[in-house]
Copies of this chain bind each other. A is one copy, B any other.
Amino acid sequence: MKKQKLLIAVIGGHQCNAKVEQIAQEIGKKIAEVGAILVCGGLSGVMKAVSKGTKEAGGTTIGILPGENKKDANAYVDIAIPTGLGLARNTLVVRTADIIIALPGKYGTLSEIAFALNAGKTVLGIGAWNIKGVIKVKTPEGALRYINNKFIKKY
């Protein structure tokens, strides 16, 4: 019998530019390296890039989908949760995660940041919505250093 695994959510737009895509992929890789599981919305953009990063580094990825069909998940999702709840699934992405890393995104991402802060969870932001309570970090390394210090050492 073992402890539950550490779950890190990465949130951000379903469209993103090349720079954000690279950051997302790098974060995904580091999540695998620290032995955590990635949880995300399972679709395109930031969600796909981070899933790719985690998978290619040998990690495990969970995609919590708004629709009813597992096939909606991007190709790097191991475990698809097709909620059928529409945008209300955003609350599940946040609740499932122990820590949230926010990248640039629109109002869907903002709703996840709000839910996470409301639930008292740690939200690290890299170029994300500038909301009071979000801890700004500059790089994937910075985000994972924070997580390592605050969560993994004591996990």
Contact = CB atoms under 8 A, between A and B. Distances in A.
Interface residues of A, number: 43
Contacts of A23: none
The A interface is mostly helix, strand or loop, or mixed, namely mixed
Contacts of A7: 79
Contacts of A111: 111, 114-115, 118
A4 interface: yes
A142 B70 CA distance: 27
Interface in A95-130: 95-96, 106-108, 110-111, 113-115, 117-119
A115 to B, nearest CB: 5
Contacts of A2: 55, 78
